[in-house]
Amino acid sequence: MTKHQPVMLEEVINCLKVEKGEWYLDTTFGGGGHSLAILKAGGNLIALDWDKENIEIGRKHLVTACPSGVSYHLYHLNYCQLDEALDKSQVKSLRGILFDLGFSTDQLYKRRGFSFHYPSEVLDLRYNSQTGQPAWQLLRNLGREEIQRSLEVYSQQPRAAEIALKLCHLAREKKITVGDVIKVVEEVGFKNQPKKIHPATKVIQALRILVNQELDNLRCGLVKAADSLKEGGRLVVISFHSGEDRIVKEFIRRRQDLVSITKKAKRPIKEEIAENPRSRSARLRVAEKKGEGND
Ligand X SMILES: C[S@@+](CC[C@H](N)C(=O)[O-])C[C@H]1O[C@@H](n2cnc3c(N)ncnc32)[C@H](O)[C@@H]1O
Q: Which of 18, 33, 45, 193 binds ligand X (CB under 6 A)?
A: 33
Quote the least distance from Cβ 58 to ligand X, whole Å. Answer: 9
Out of 11, 16, 18, 28, name the contact with ligand X by CB under 6 A.
Answer: 28
Stretch that binds ligand X, among 30-38, 84-92, 152-160, 199-207 (CB under 6 A): 30-38
Rounded CA separation 135/140 (Å) = 8
Q: Give the sheet arrangement for strand 258-260, strand by strand.
A: 72-76, 44-49, 23-26, 94-100, 229-239, 283-289, 258-260
**How far is it, in rounded angstroms, from Cα 232 to Cα 277?**
33
Size of the site for ligand X (CB under 6 A): 22
Amino acid at 22: E
Give the closest residue to 11 by CA, choosing from 172, 248, 237.
237
- Using DSSP's 3-state secondary structure scheme, residue 201 falls into helix
- Taking alpha carbons only, the member of 4, 2, 10 closest to residue 268 is 10
Closest residue to ligand X, based on beta-carbon distance? 30
What character string, x for contact with ligand X (CB under 6 A) and - otherwise, covers 180-219? -------------------------------------x--
Taking the complex as a whole, how short is the minimal distance between the CB of residue 214 and ligand X, in angstroms? 6
CB closer to ligand X out of 29 and 116? 29
Question: Binders of ligand X among 69-128, rule CB under 6 A?
Answer: 78-79, 100, 102-104, 127
User: Which residue in 18, 31, 193, 211 binds ligand X (CB under 6 A)?
Assistant: 31
* CA distance to 17, 64, 187, per residue, from 20 (Å): 10, 20, 56
Nearest distance in Å: CB 120, ligand X: 23
Instruction: Considering the complex, state which of residue 33 and residue 233 has its C-beta at the smaller distance from ligand X.
Output: 33
Q: Which residues contact 135 (CB under 8 A, 6 or more apart)?
A: 113, 123, 124, 125, 126, 176, 207, 208, 210, 211
CB nearer ligand X, residue 51 or residue 180: 51
Q: Pick from 39, 46, 48, 167: which binds ligand X (CB under 6 A)?
A: 48
293: left (phi over 0), alpha (psi -120 to 50) or beta: alpha
Q: Does 272 bind ligand X (CB under 6 A)?
A: no
Which residues in 122-181 contact ligand X (CB under 6 A)?
Answer: 127
Which among 115, 119, 117 is positioned nearest to 104, based on CA atoms? Answer: 115
Residues that bind ligand X (CB under 6 A): 4, 6, 27-28, 30-34, 48-51, 54, 78-79, 100, 102-104, 127, 217
